[in-house]
Structure 1
Amino acid sequence: MGRASGFGLGLVLVLALTGCSAAAPDRAASRLDEVVERGELRVCSTGDYRPFTHRDESGAWRGIDIDMARDLASRLGVRAEIVPTTWGDLLDDFRARCDIAVGGVSVTLERARHAAFSEPYLEGGKAPITRCGEVERFATLERIDRPGVRVVVNPGGTNEEFARGALDRATVIGHPDNNTIFQEIAEGRADLMITDAAEARWQATRDPRLCAVHPDRPFTFSEKAYLLPRGDVAFQHYVDQWLNLALHDGTYQRIARPWLGAG
């Protein structure tokens, strides 16, 4: 009887383990498989942060990261569906509606609490952009943080977070449209903006009235990466492998060249 009981217990354990093994693939399903089965990569982006992401008046999407997301979708054999969001709603929209978020997304610890990041593809930091005659006036944070200096920010992102955290005496002005915010500086309604060095460089090439202030020596260190679902190792690994290849086989340089003049 003892032997029979032992046999019965062993059979129960085998069946239990077999059942666990059979269910494991469903529990371990990755966004990688879901995207392929769906035939669509859902990409969150703000559309207001050139050269990384831009949505024009007709609704067409362009930019380095938009084209990179399309390349990723092509490698997966699916189409890319761009989902518009804002910097303030980025995390919520990403978790509810998207597989990946792109468009000059800075790696921050706050974002890392709610999502994962790909390997970084660009290093930079915060640097000012101002009218060309004011470059020396705003060369340091000490010179910027003075009464009467008007610093314009786009709400909800790391630019506003930095400005409000670093400046006590300067006036920080919110401007809701990041596509027109640089006109505020060029036309004298604001004195400067502190943004990512890559954006400062690019915007300075678009308007001869504007100059980036020491973009090679930014105030901070930051990295750009793609936002990914937290805990999905398979999908993150695939994106990292794709990105590594794209950075070394000429794909990223080809996509970035029209925007940055990169070699």
Structure 2
Amino acid sequence: MRKFILLFLSAVLLGSMVSFASCTVGKDNTIIVNQPTINRIQERGTILIGTTGDYRPLTFREADGTYWGFGIEVAGQIAKRLGVNIQFVPTSWPTLSTDVTSNPQAFDLAIGGITITDARKQTMLMSDGYLANGKTILCRASEADRYQKLADIDKPDVRVMVNPGGLNEKFANQNLTHATIIVHDKNEEIPSLIAEGQADVMITEITEAPYYIQTDTRLAAPLLNAPFTHGEIGVLMRQGQDDLLQLVNDVISQMKADGTLRQLHEKYGLVYAY
């Protein structure tokens, strides 16, 4: 009798939990339980996506306000899965973490050139990677032979230019203690400044460098195939949005499986690593 009562109470408790949970059926027929972030976005009809808009070819904002890039297209796939529109919200590398965690919330997630790091994962959520990444350099094509290793850059007569607040500046400060480091506010202007002789080297990523050497013959990336670091780029969002994180990871997984991600790599001239 006692066993029966315990079983009955357990069944009642389970039934109560199910009745109060928000349950939906996903596109793959899986049951998704308790998705407050997704519900909020779908009720709004728009997903708010933070992006810097200064990082060709991952995220760039044209003068007319339109956005394009690898990350922007991934954002489009996320919005498509949710069945909502996109509103892009400007952010910057120095304010990215503050904007992600702000109250009231500035946007639902951030995308475009954001490297997955343990430091970010300690205070925020990061998706699975969708693009291989690593630190490299841009320099003038006429001086490409001059820079064959990190030690060739870390010299007092080498002017290294970086954008503020991101991992490029952090890498330069940690690894180039002898070089002259110049911080320039607008990341998208640095390649042209290097080509014009305003600085000698730009610390950048293997995801960004190919675009500039393809569009400006004055530039070279001599260490493109030997990056200083290795990592991945993912989607960043505030803690507590585990339902949205799971959906984003599902989208990335699907894009890998159906070839969409490979097509984007080919479109933007990037190496496919999955």
TM superposition score normalised by structure 2: 0.84
Q: Which of 59, 79, 83 pairs up with 1:77?
A: 83
Deviations 1:204-239 (A, max 9, x none): 111001011221210111211111332333221111
Q: How many residues align?
A: 253
2:191 to 166, 182, 185: 182
Q: How far 1:135 moved relative to its partner?
A: 1.7
> Secondary structure, in 3 states, of the residue corresponding to 1:43?
strand
Q: What is the rounded CA distance, in whole Å, between the counterparts of 2:263 and 2:36 in structure 1?
A: 30
Partner amino acid, structure 1, of 2:263? R
Mapping 1:67-146, distance limit 5 Å: 67-95=73-101, 96-146=105-155
Name the structure with the higher helix share.
1
What is the RMSD of the two structures over their aligned residues, measured on CA atoms? 2.6
Q: TM-score scaled to structure 1, two decimals?
A: 0.87
Which of 169, 172, 179 matches 2:178? 169
| Deviations 1:170-200 (CA, angstroms, capped at 9, x unpaired) | 0000111111111110000100111111211
Distance 2:115 2:187 in 1: 16
How far, CA to CA, are the matches of 1:29 and 1:255 in structure 2? 29
Contact 2:210–2:270 (8 Å) recurs in 1: no
Structure 1 residue 18 displacement after superposition: 9.0
**Percent identity between the two aligned chains:** 36
Which of the residues 213, 217, 220 maps onto 1:208?
217
Unaligned runs of 5+ in 1: 1-14
SS at match of 2:268: helix
**Paired AA for residue 224 in structure 2:** P
- Contact map agreement 2:115 2:133 (CA 8 A) in 1: no
Structure 2 match to 1:59: 65
CA drift of 1:147 comes to 0.9
Of 198-207 and 247-256, the range deviating more from structure 2: 247-256
Unpaired runs of at least 5, structure 2: 1-11, 24-33
Aligned partners of 2:237, 2:191: CA distance in 1, in Å?
A: 30
Contact 2:77 2:251 in 1 (8 A): no
